[in-house]
Structure 1
Amino acid sequence: MTISVGDKLPETTFKTVTADGANSQTTADIFAGKKVVLFGVPGAFTPTCSNNHLPGYLENHDAITARGVDTIAVVAVNDQFVMGAWARHTGAEGKILFLADGNGDFVRAAGLDIDLSGGGLGTRSKRFSAIVEDGKVTALNIEDSPGQAVESGAAKLLEQL
């Protein structure tokens, strides 16, 4: 079942890369007591994710945080080293928190997983965006097609803040 507005995010552990190496952060570490914009992408370095989805959040970073958002985070079913490289490659390091959901535990528990095996990608995250306040979803936008970033883009999310 897909998570809905009003639901708490499922408890899981994400991986991130820091200057000291791999780091584990739980859902509570990231979302408890904070207002977070979370968006999910099918994969780091993929065309729509790199060219359309992520850039909108990076370009609108200041406008989003000016509306009381503590953290902007992106999640993908990739390992922490790929996510770290993507952060560096896009110039988003330090502005957007890159969360690796390497085994897809979070997206599966939230019902935000999609089978992209036909394209050789396996199980991935649906393309989505959400506003999460103290771990509770207050807005959720899910794309009908993983190749589009309209409903889950930064412009739509800014309207919801």
Structure 2
Amino acid sequence: MTIAKGDRLPSTTFATMTENGPEQIASDDFFAGKTVALFSVPGAFTPTCSARHLPGFIDKAEELKAKGVDVIACTAVNDAFVMGAWSKAAGADGKVTMLADGNGDFAQAVGLTMDGSKFGLGTRGQRFSMIVKDGVVEELNVEAPGDFKVSSADHMLEQL
């Protein structure tokens, strides 16, 4: 079942890259007491994700925070090493927190997976964004396959 506005996010675990290597973080702890602008991409370093999706959130980070967002986070079905390298390459450090969903547990738990097998990607998370307040989904924007419209930073700014 796909998550919906008003639902509490399921309890899963992400990994983040730190100076000491990958560290696990419980989703309940990450979202507790904060307003989080979360977006999901099918994969780090992939064309639309790298050229438009992540850069939009980096560029609009201050505007999002001015509208009440405490943390901007990106998740993908990639490991923490890849997400850490992508963050550095894109200049996201300090602006966007990378949440590695290495096994796709979060994507599966929220019911937003996609089959990228024909591109050699296997099961991935769909392209979406959500505004999460204290663990509850306040806004949810799921893209149609191949689209990049409603999950953008610009669209999210209009919702805040």
Structure 2 residues not aligned, in runs of 5+:
none
1:24-67 Cα shifts (integer Å, max 9, x gaps): 11111210110000000000000000001111100000000011
Structure 1 residues not aligned, in runs of 5+:
none
Q: Which residue of 2 aligns with 1:41?
A: 41
Q: Which residue of 1 aligns with 2:26?
A: 26
Aligned AA (1:148): D
CA distance in 1 between counterparts of 2:147 and 2:104 reads 21
TM-score, normalization by structure 1: 0.98
Q: Does 1:120 align with 2:120?
A: yes
Q: Which residue of 2 aligns with 1:140?
A: 140
1:126 offset after TM fit, Å?
0.3
- Identity of matched residues, %: 57
Instruction: Please tell me the root mean square deviation across aligned C-alpha atoms, in Å.
Output: 0.7
1:46-125 matched pairs, under 5 angstroms: 46-125=46-125
**Residue 148 of structure 1: SS of its match in structure 2?**
coil
1:69-120 Cα shifts (integer Å, max 9, x gaps): 1100000000000000000000001110000000000000100111111111
CA distance in 2 between counterparts of 1:78 and 1:67 reads 29
**Residue 11 of structure 1: SS of its match in structure 2?**
coil
**Residue 121 of structure 2: SS of its match in structure 1?**
coil
CA distance in 2 between counterparts of 1:79 and 1:31 reads 20
**Residue 52 of structure 1: SS of its match in structure 2?**
helix
1:20 offset after TM fit, Å?
1.4
Stretches (4+) displaced over 3 A:
none
